[in-house]
Amino acid sequence: MVTEKIFDKLPSGEEVRCFHLENGSGAFAEVLQYGALLTKLCVPDREGRLTDVVLGYDTAEGYLTNGCFFGAVIGRSGNRIEGGRFVLDGKEVVLAKNEGENNLHSGPDGFEKKMWKAERISQEKNSVTFSRISPDGENGFPGEFSVSVTYEFTEDNAVRIIYEGVSDKTTVANMTNHSYFNLAGEGSGNVLDQYLTIRAQSYTPVREDSIPLGENVPVEGTPMDFRVEKTIGQDIGADFQQLKYTGGFDHNYVTDGCDGAEVREIARARSEKTGIEMTVLTDCPCVQFYAGNFVENEKGKNGHVYGKRDGFCLETQVEPNAVNVPGFHSPVLNKGERYHSETVYRFSIK
């Protein structure tokens, strides 16, 4: 069942509405029209207690700043673009440099800082669809991009996120969700003892500024290998240059079966404390695993203060800086072409 309420007001006085998606068991997700953000995700633990497994804020003020991108829909293009520049249709596109010399998540004011329209509510599917028109030249990106994000919360405790859009000029589209998960519950401390599997034979090594070197290399024999389940903390402090560059895991993985463009399982995580297990499915070729290395003193929900590694992200995508690397999966969306991407975060008890 979908219900709505007022979450808060922006400094302008404009109301931010919250949409509550609850299934028959009482588990629920809550999403905001501001930023199309996922602000709550409450699923049962092994004792049947509802546990909120995503980090976030209680007020609009938190999301106005949101330097960590809690719950954020990222667009038009997730992750980093070298020098904030790329060439499209023979013309150079220039973006803002909001992380050193590079562009991160299409900022400084990406889709997560925009007010979306709640375009469609479906009681049958237990879903809400947000939409907006991203104007030609917004944040530097070419083309008027008519875009939507649908959140559906299913009877088997899965959040299904569908991104769709079309542009009147060739542009870049590589959207993702930047939720931070803690399967022991938000505010419960760090996630280093939580288990993770990533179905990927290779990852994307980076320079010191987190821009890819331009190749994907095998995970085998490195601390980057999550093909067999291990805790997030097991190798995070390993004497390995890639982990030193990024302060821990913050890397792209090229997932198995990525050439079929089908929704398939790419990752799985679980907490022994709560028994909550999360399965990630997507039609995207890659996923960015970020272990929350740079979260520090963030005043979050319920009076909790989030610190380093108190949540982890699994952001489905193409490789970072792919628009500038011919050998990577292309994020280019041709004029008039339909953009479609789907990611599912499904919860169960292990």
In contact, 32 and 63? CB cutoff 8 Å: yes
Nearest to 287 by CA among 326, 307, 257: 257
Q: How far is CA 100 from the centre of its chain?
A: 21
Of 30, 82, 138, 315, catalytic: 315
Mark whether 329 is an active-site residue.
no
Q: Using CA atoms, how far apart are residues 266 and 285, in angstroms rounded to an integer?
A: 9
Residue 314 burial by Cβ neighbours in a 10 Å radius (0-12, 13-18, 19+) = buried
Nearest to 164 by CA among 121, 206, 209, 132: 132
Residue 27 carries which DSSP code? -
Mark whether 178 is an active-site residue.
yes
Of 138, 164, 178, 319, catalytic: 178
Residue 326 burial by Cβ neighbours in a 10 Å radius (0-12, 13-18, 19+) = exposed
Q: Show the tokens assigned to 9.
A: 């007001």
Which amino acid, one-letter code, is at 163? Answer: Y
Element (H, E) at 40: strand 38-44
Q: Using CA atoms, how far apart are residues 332 and 1, in angstroms rounded to an integer?
A: 37
The residue assigned the tokens 């989030």 is 306
Task: Assign 115 to helix, strand or coil.
Answer: strand
Q: Using CA atoms, how far apart are residues 232 and 226, in angstroms rounded to an integer?
A: 9
Q: How many residues does the chain have?
A: 350
Q: Show the tokens assigned to 309.
A: 């590694």
In contact, 88 and 172? CB cutoff 8 Å: yes
Catalytic residue annotation: 178, 315
